[in-house]
Amino acid sequence: MRALIDQTETGGQPSYRTKEGGVRLRAGQPSGTRGTPLVSIITVVCNGADYLEQTIRSVHDHRNGVAEYIVIDGASDDGTLEIIRANEECIDYWLSEPDSGIFSAMNKGIACSTGKYLLFLNARDMLVADIGKLRDILSQDFVLVYGKANMLEPDGKLSYIKGRTLRSYRELHKGMRICHQAIFFRRDLIGFYDTTYRLLADRVKIHDIIRSHGIDRTRFVDLAIADYFEGGISRQCFGLLKEEEFRFLSSIGRGYYAFYRKIGWFFRKNVKEPWHAFSKRYSPGPLR
C-alpha cells in the first residue's frame, strides 16, 4: 500500500538510482499489443510485493492484445522490484524512482503512456473485464467510458458493486459515484492530476472532465471492469478526505453544501456512532 507521507525527490534515499525496464526497452521482443494500443493500463505501487503479482497477472489475462501495461513504482524496498522484473514479459514499460504520492506516480504513468484511453489499476486490484470486448465502444469519441467495480473487503469478500449511469457532473458533489478503477479516460483530454489533493484528485479530475465536455460524451457500460479492494488510504485517513472534499466543494462555489456535509460528518463521528456503541454495550439482554 502506498504511504501517504510525502517522499522528497530523493525519497530519503540520496543514492537511489532511477530504474526502468519492460518489453518496450528490449529490442526484438513482442509487446502485449498489436500496433498502437487502444488502452494504456497503469498500475502505481510502493512496497506492494505481497499483492502486486495478482494485479499483473489479471492484466496479462484480460488485455487481449489491445492494451499496453505500465507499472510505476515509488522506489520500493520490500521486494516489489523483484516481482516487477520476474513478470517483465507482461509489462510494456516500468519505472522505479521516488515520488511524492499516488497521484504524482499516476502523472508519470500518463506521461509515458501511448494508448487512446487510460485505465488506472492500483496494486492488489484486479482487471476482470476482457478489454478486447470493449473495442467497439472505446473506438468511439467518448471522453469517459465507465463501468462497475466489485468492491471487496480486505479479506476478499464482496461488499457491494459500485457504478451506475451518471446524469450530471453535479452528482460528484455528493460523493464518488463511480469507481476510479472502472473508468477509461481519454488520454488526450485528461491532462494531469492535481497533486495538491492527496486523496481526492481522482474525483476532482472526473468532475472537471464531465463539466468541461458534457455528460453526453460519456458512456456507461453495464459490466464489471475491476475488483477493487477497500481499506486503503482514503478509509484510513478519512479526516483528510473530508478536509479535501470541503476544499473541492468550496472551490466550485458549493461551500454551503460542503459546510452541511462537514456538520453531518462531525455529528455522525462524535454523536451518532458513539451513541450506537454505548447502546450496544449497555443494552439489556433478552427478557426471560
Q: Give the CATH number, domain containing residue 40.
A: 3.90.550.10
Of the candidates 217, 235, 253, which is a domain's last residue? 235
pLDDT in tens, 215-241: 999 999 999 999 999 876 656 677 788
Question: In terms of domains, do 116 and 147 share one?
Answer: yes
Contacts of 24 (CB under 8 A, 6+ apart): 31, 92, 93
pLDDT in tens, 153-204: 988 999 999 999 999 999 999 889 999 999 999 999 999 999 999 999 999 9
Domains in the chain, number: 2
* pLDDT in the model for residue 239: 77
Lowest average pLDDT, out of 6-10, 134-138, 143-147, 262-266, goes to 6-10
Kindly report the pTM of this predicted structure.
0.84
Domain contains 212 = yes
Q: Which domain holds residue 111?
A: 19-235
Question: In terms of domains, do 81 and 196 share one?
Answer: yes
- Percent of residues in the chain assigned helix, strand, coil, to nearest 5: 40, 20, 40
Question: In terms of domains, do 273 and 182 share one?
Answer: no
Domain contains 13 = no
Domain contains 3 = no
Question: In terms of domains, do 231 and 242 share one?
Answer: no
Question: In terms of domains, do 98 and 211 share one?
Answer: yes
pLDDT in tens, 60-101: 999 999 999 999 999 999 999 999 999 999 999 999 999 999
Question: In terms of domains, do 87 and 200 share one?
Answer: yes
Q: d(Cα 251, Cα 247) in Å, to the nearest integer? A: 6
Domain contains 50 = yes
Lowest average pLDDT, out of 137-151, 250-264, 269-283, goes to 269-283
Taking residues 47-67, what's their average pLDDT? 96
Listed residue (153, 150, 158, 251) closest to 207, CA to CA: 251
Residue 46, all three cell numbers:
510502493
Q: Does residue 11 have a pLDDT over 50?
A: no
Domain contains 288 = no
